[in-house]
Amino acid sequence: MFDQYIGSFVPFAGVIYPINLIPCDGRLLQINQYQALFSIIGYSYGNYSSSQFRVPDLRGRFAIGDGAAPGMVSEYDLTEYGGYESIVLDVQSLPTHNHAANFTSSGTSVAVNLQPKAGPQGNSNSPAGNNWGTPNSISLNPVQLYSKTKNVTMNANAVQATIATNGQTPGTIAVGTAGNSAAHNNMSPYTAISWFIVADGIYPNFS
Arithmetic mean of pLDDT over the chain: 80
Percentage of the chain beyond pLDDT 90 is 28
Confidence at residue 41, expressed as pLDDT on a 0 to 100 scale: 95
Interatomic CA distance for residues 122 and 33, integer angstroms: 121
For 181-206, b/e burial (b = at least 16 CB within 10 A) is eeeeeeeeeeeeebbbbbbbbeeeee
Interatomic CA distance for residues 128 and 148, integer angstroms: 10
pLDDT in tens, 86-136: 998 888 888 887 777 777 766 556 665 555 666 666 677 777 767 667 666
pLDDT in tens, 161-192: 655 555 555 667 777 777 788 888 888 888 99
pLDDT in tens, 16-70: 888 889 999 999 999 999 999 999 999 999 888 899 999 999 999 888 889 998 9
Q: Which residues fall within 8 angstroms of residue 31, CB to CB, at 6 or more apart?
A: 38, 50, 51, 52, 53
Interatomic CA distance for residues 199 and 27, integer angstroms: 13
**pLDDT grade for 8, boundaries at 50, 70 and 90:** very high
